[in-house]
Every structure is written in C-alpha cells, then in structure tokens.
Amino acid sequence: MQCVDIVAKAMSNLRTYTELISLPTFEERFRYLRLNGVIGEETFGFDRYINQKFYRSKEWLRTRDQIILRDSACDLGIDDREIHGQILIHHLNPILLKDILDVSELLLNPEYLISTTQNTHRAIHYGDEDLLIKAPIERTANDTCPWKRTVR
C-alpha cells in the first residue's frame, strides 16, 4: 500500500468526540476508544523530547484547559465519573511524530480530544478493561443477607 493510501485509510477511520458522546455509557465509550496496544511499545522512541516539548506548549495547555471545561472534568465526559486526581487529555486518534512536525489537525482540535484518568488512559492504550475503575455497586437494604430480603 502506498503512503497516500495508508493516510487516506487512517483519515476515514478517525474517532471523533461527536461520535464518542453519542455513546451513553462509560463502557461503550471505552470500547470505542480501545487501541489494544502492547505494553512497552515505542511510540516516539528517541524523538520523545519532541512530543514532550509539544505537551508543554502554550497552545496545548490552552487547549487542554478547554477540553477539561467542556468535559466538566469527567472521565470520558461521563457526568457521574468526576476526576478527582490528575486529568489527562487523550488523543482519540494516536498521534505520530509526523503529526507534531506538520502541526496536524489531530493535535489541538477538540473534536479529537477527551478528558480521562491515568487508569482509563492506560486501559485505552493497552485494551485492558481490568485497569478501569469500576462504578460503585448500588446497594439496597439487606442485599447481603438473603434471609432478610423482602420478596417483591
């Protein structure tokens, strides 16, 4: 496949914020974003300093703040999933060195970004649902004492 064909195919499969927020549950959003990468797989290698420079830029920090406000500081933009610790901004579509060097639209366009926690971010990249923080179980009176439950 030629380079132009690869780029066209990748662009046609772009994940978007608009599609993501149409999914009502956290689990559905996670599955939409899941990448199934390999732990320790290199993304920038020796050029990692370039993406680190980008993540310290004024443009990125401004965009990051906008995304956190838009998502109400909630994991994957789900209202009952407030983030109380560090907030990461996840690129819905993996960025490459070329995206940073060419200042690709994928870098700062809010349509390609979402707020997330460190655990969710790792789960997305490695495809491991066990890394996700589970929603608390809704408890009911006597739910742990079968002999005291009322029959409805």
Q: Which residues of the chain have pLDDT under 70?
A: 1-12, 37-45, 135-137, 146, 148-152
Look up the domain containing 101 and give its range.
Answer: 3-132
pLDDT given for residue 55 in this prediction: 92
Q: Domains in the chain: how many in total? A: 1
Q: Is 112 a member of any domain?
A: yes
Question: Residue 27: what residue type?
Answer: E
Tell me, yes or no, whether 56 lies in a domain. yes
- 92 in any annotated domain: yes
Q: Is 22 part of a structural domain of the chain?
A: yes
Nearest alpha carbon to residue 15 among 65, 70, 76: 76
CB atoms within 10 A of CB 117: 22
**Among candidate residues 75, 105, 97, 94, the one with its CA nearest the CA of residue 34:** 94
The identity of residue 10, as a single letter, is A
* In-domain check, residue 65: yes
Among left, alpha and beta (phi > 0; psi -120 to 50; other), residue 127 is: left
Residue 2's DSSP bridge partners are none
> What does pTM read for this prediction?
0.77
